[in-house]
Structure 1
Amino acid sequence: MTRTVSASQVKVPATYMRGGTSKGVFFNLEDLPPAAQVPGEARDRLLLRVIGSPDPYGKQIDGMGGATSSTSKTVIVSKSEHADHDVDYLFGQVSIDQPFVDWSGNCGNLSAAVGPFAIHAGLIAKERLPENGIATVRVWQVNIGKTIVVHVPIVKGQVQETGAFELDGVTFPAAEIQVDFMDPADGEGSMFPTGNVVDTLEVPGVGTFSATLINAGIPTIFIDAEAIGFTGTELQDDINNDEQTLAMFEQIRAYGALKMGLIKRLEAAQSRQHTPKIAFVAEPKTYVSSSGKPIAAGDVDVLVRALSMGKLHHAMMGTAAVAIASAACVPGTLVNIAAGGGERESVTFGHPSGTLKVGAKARVVGQDWVVEKAIMSRSARILMEGFVRVPAEVVA
C-alpha cells in the first residue's frame, strides 16, 4: 500500500487490531510519512491525531481511540535490526486528554497481536511459515529492550484468528496465542530496584504503606488492598467514579516512581502516565465479575486490581500480568504473601473481568532475583485494515 494525499487529508496505511484485552492502530514503519518514520514531534503529532487526542471531552470522538487506556494505543512494527529477531515492535500509549505519547513501556496485550500483524504485513519470510502448525515470531520490544516470542497458530498457510479459546475481558472466543516474555526484569538493574521485596512507602497526605516495587514486564507498585480501605473485589465503577480515590492512587504512584528511581522529580510523574503501574492485592474472596460471572474464592490464588493511565483497568494489562507472575513467584513479596506464600511457578489471579493464569519461574542469581521467562495465553484478531486519514497539515 502507498500513502496518497487528497486536498485536505492524508491517507496512511494502517491495521486496527485487538490483542488480548486491548486494541490499537498498527503501522508498518515503512508506510508512515517520512517525517514520522523516526522518533520525534512529527511522529507524536501524527499518532495523537490518528487516535483523536488531546480531547478535553475525554471521548476521542474525532479519532480511532476508544477513550480508555486499553484502546488509546498505537504500534509501529518493522523488520528487525537485531540479530535472531524477526521484527522490531515499538509501542506508543497515547494520552487521552493531554498532548503527549508515552513511550516509556510496553503493552503486553498488544504484544500478542504483533506476531499476526507481522505475518499479515509480509514481514516474515514465507519459508518460515508452516502450512499447518505454529509460527514462532521473535520480537524485539524497542521500548524496553527485551525479547518477546509470539507463537502464532497457522492453518492452511494463514494466521488462524478464530477458535475456542476464551479470555476473560474479551466477549468472543478466538485462537489461542502463547506469548513468552523473555528475561522480563529491567535489563539495566535489579528486578527489585530498591533491593528489597517489600519497602515502606511514605506518601505525604495519604499514609505510609508496605509496597513491593518490581520491574518485570513493566514497572509496578503493589500495595495491600486493606491498607487503603479496599477488599480486592472492586470493579471499575467502584474506583473510577471517585476523583478523590483516583487522586490518592496517583499520589501513591508518583512517590513509588520516585522511590524506584524512574523519575528524579515528583512532578515528572505527570508526563509519565504509562509507567509505573499501581496495583492492589488481596487474599482470595468470592465476587461477581463485570460480566456477571461469579468468581469463587477457590478459583484463584490472589486478587489483583490495577490502574492504567489513571483509571482502574477493566481486566489486566498484559505487562502487569507479567509483573504479577514474577512477584508471586518470589517468596515474601506482597503478591506472594496474598497468594499464600511459598515457592510457585504459576499463579491464577482474579481481576475485574474474571481470572487469568500466568507462569513464571524465579531464581536467585548472586544477590538478585531473576525471572527467565514469563508465559501467558492471549488471543488477537484483525478488526479492520486499510487507511487512516489525518488532516494534511498534521504531516506537513
Structure 2
Amino acid sequence: MHLPQIKIPATYMRGGTSKGVFFNLEDLPLEAQEPGVIRDQVLLRVIGSPDPYGKHTDGMGGATSSTSKTVILSKSRKADHDVDYLFGQVAIDKPFIDWSGNCGNLTAAVGSFAISNGLVDADRIPKDGIATVRIWQANIKKTIIAKVPMTNGEVQETGDFELDGVTFPAAEVQVEFVAPADGEGSMFPTGNLVDDLEVPGIGTFKASMINAGIPTIFLNAEEIGYTGTELQEVINSDPQALEKFETIRAHGAVKMGLIQNISEAVARQHTPKVAFVAPPAEYVTSSGKHIDQTDIDVSVRAMSMGKLHHAMMGTAAVAIATAAAIPGTLVNLAAGGGDRNEVTFGHPSGTLKVGAEASLVGDQWQVDKAIMSRSARVLMEGWVRVPSETLNP
C-alpha cells in the first residue's frame, strides 16, 4: 500500500547570494524536531538529495552549494536573543547534511523570517524603521545581529540595494557578526599568521588558516597556478583542479585540528573553506560587468562544497575581512598590507565591501565584529511535501 505524502509548512527564501528552504522548528513533524537520522532524511527529501543526476529535479534544491540549503528556526532559548538559527548544508549527490558551519548569506533572511513568523517579541519590532533581531547561530554558537527594515508593521523586502551575484535590487539588511572567531581556542589554530601547508603529491604552499566566520584556508593564487580573476567554468570544468582543491582542503583541515586524519574530510564537506587571493586586477564578471583594478583592494575566489562559488559565501566574507584586518596574513598582504578596518574584494560576480575590527590582545589576535550588507526576499511560502516513509528510521 502506498501512503500519501505529508505536508510541512515551509518558506523558500533568498538570503544574500544563496537560497534555501526555511522551517519553523515547531512545524516539522515531531520525529524531525530533534537532530538525527529522521530529520536528515526529511530535509534530504525536501531538497531532492541524493541525486546522481546532479539536477535536484525531484526536490527544492538548485543543484549548487548556494541553493542546496535548509534552515530551522525557533524562538531562542538563549538569554538576550530572539531566535535560534540552525543551518544544514545539503550534499547534492550524497545522502549527507553538514551541520558543522553557518551560512552567512542566508543569515540575512533569518531576521525577516523570524519577524514574519512570530519568533520575535512584538515589543521589539517597530512599525517603521529598523528592527534589530538578535540571532543565536546554533551551529557555531555565535551571536549575529540583523538590522531588518520595517514599513507599516511588515518586513520591507523591496528596495534599491544592489548586491553583485543577485539579479534584482531589494531592501538592504545589515548583518553584524559578533566576535565571529569560530570554535574554541585561537583564531589562528596553528599559532601562525602564515604556515607552510604540505600536501603530499601536490606541493607545499603558503597558507593563512583562520577561524573567523567559518574555518578558511587562504592560499596565494599564483602559487597554485591561478590569477585570482577566474570565473566558475575555469575551475569547475577541470576535474583535476577540483580534486587538487579537495586534497588541499583535507590536509588543511587536519592542520587546523578540525579532523584527525584526511579520511574524515568527506564527512565535513562544508568546512573548512579553501580560498585563493591575489592583488587587485581588472576582470570581467560572470554577468559581463567590467571590474577595474582600482575598484577593489584584493581579488578572492573561494571553493564551496567542492566547486568554485559563483560569488562569495557570507561567512567566508567575514573570514576575508578579518584576515585583511590583521597585518601579515596572505589576505592582508595581497590587499597591500598595513592596517585596515574594511576591504572591498572582487569575486566572480562582482565586488563586496565588508568591515572588521581586529585587535591584538597579548599575543593573540581577536576580532570584535564583522559587518556586511546583504538583502533577502521571500520567494514562495506554503507547504513542501515528502513521502510518508521518510519518517521511518
The answer to whether the 8 Å contact 2:82/2:121 transfers is no
- Report the Cα distance in structure 2 between the residues aligned to 1:303 and 1:315, rounded to whole angstroms: 12
Q: Secondary structure at the match of 2:64?
A: coil
Amino acid at match of 2:380: M
Partner of 2:57: 61
Partner of 2:73: 77
User: Residues 109-148 of structure 1: matches in 2 within 5 Å?
Assistant: 109-148=105-144
Q: Secondary structure at the match of 1:379?
A: strand
Amino acid at match of 1:145: K
- Report the Cα distance in structure 2 between the residues aligned to 1:126 and 1:85, rounded to whole angstroms: 14
Partner of 1:221: 217
Partner of 2:344: 348
User: Residues 187-226 of structure 1: matches in 2 within 5 Å?
Assistant: 187-226=183-222
Partner of 1:256: 252
Residues 317-366 of structure 1: CA distance to partner in whole angstroms, max 9, x if unpaired?
Answer: 00000000000000000000000000000000000000000000110112
- Report the Cα distance in structure 1 between the residues aligned to 2:154 and 2:372, rounded to whole angstroms: 23
Partner of 1:40: 36
- Report the Cα distance in structure 2 between the residues aligned to 1:319 and 1:33, rounded to whole angstroms: 30
Quote the offset at 1:187 in angstroms.
4.4
The answer to whether the 8 Å contact 2:73/2:85 transfers is yes
Partner of 2:289: 293
- Report the Cα distance in structure 2 between the residues aligned to 1:198 and 1:187, rounded to whole angstroms: 19
**Which is further off, 227-236 or 184-193?**
184-193
- Residue 328 (structure 1) aligned to one of 320, 324, 345: 324
Amino acid at match of 1:136: T
Quote the offset at 1:124 in angstroms.
1.1
2:382 corresponds to 1:383 = no
Amino acid at match of 2:38: A
Partner of 1:368: 364
Displaced runs of 4 or more, over 6 A: none
2:189 corresponds to 1:180 = no
Q: Secondary structure at the match of 1:306?
A: strand
Residues 230-253 of structure 1: CA distance to partner in whole angstroms, max 9, x if unpaired?
Answer: 000000011100000000000100
- Residue 154 (structure 1) aligned to one of 128, 131, 150: 150
User: What's the RMSD between the two structures over aligned residues?
Assistant: 0.8
Q: Secondary structure at the match of 2:60?
A: coil
Q: Secondary structure at the match of 2:119?
A: coil
Residues 224-279 of structure 1: CA distance to partner in whole angstroms, max 9, x if unpaired?
Answer: 00001100000001110000000000010000000000000110001110000000
Residues 276-297 of structure 1: CA distance to partner in whole angstroms, max 9, x if unpaired?
Answer: 0000000000000000000000
- Report the Cα distance in structure 2 between the residues aligned to 1:65 and 1:88, rounded to whole angstroms: 23
Amino acid at match of 1:357: K
- Report the Cα distance in structure 2 between the residues aligned to 1:12 and 1:105, rounded to whole angstroms: 25
Partner of 1:309: 305
Partner of 2:277: 281
- Report the Cα distance in structure 2 between the residues aligned to 1:35 and 1:165, rounded to whole angstroms: 40
* Uncovered stretches (5+) of structure 1, i.e. residues with no partner: 1-5
Quote the offset at 1:77 in angstroms.
0.2
- Report the Cα distance in structure 2 between the residues aligned to 1:125 and 1:212, rounded to whole angstroms: 42
* Uncovered stretches (5+) of structure 2, i.e. residues with no partner: none
TM-score (norm 2): 0.99
- Report the Cα distance in structure 2 between the residues aligned to 1:217 and 1:117, rounded to whole angstroms: 22
Amino acid at match of 2:87: F
Residues 7-58 of structure 1: CA distance to partner in whole angstroms, max 9, x if unpaired?
Answer: 4100000000000000000000000001110000010000000000001111
Quote the offset at 1:186 in angstroms.
2.6
Aligned residues between the structures: 391
Q: Secondary structure at the match of 2:263?
A: helix
- Report the Cα distance in structure 2 between the residues aligned to 1:179 and 1:109, rounded to whole angstroms: 9
Amino acid at match of 1:213: M
2:248 corresponds to 1:243 = no
The answer to whether the 8 Å contact 2:3/2:387 transfers is no
- Report the Cα distance in structure 1 between the residues aligned to 2:41 and 2:135, rounded to whole angstroms: 26
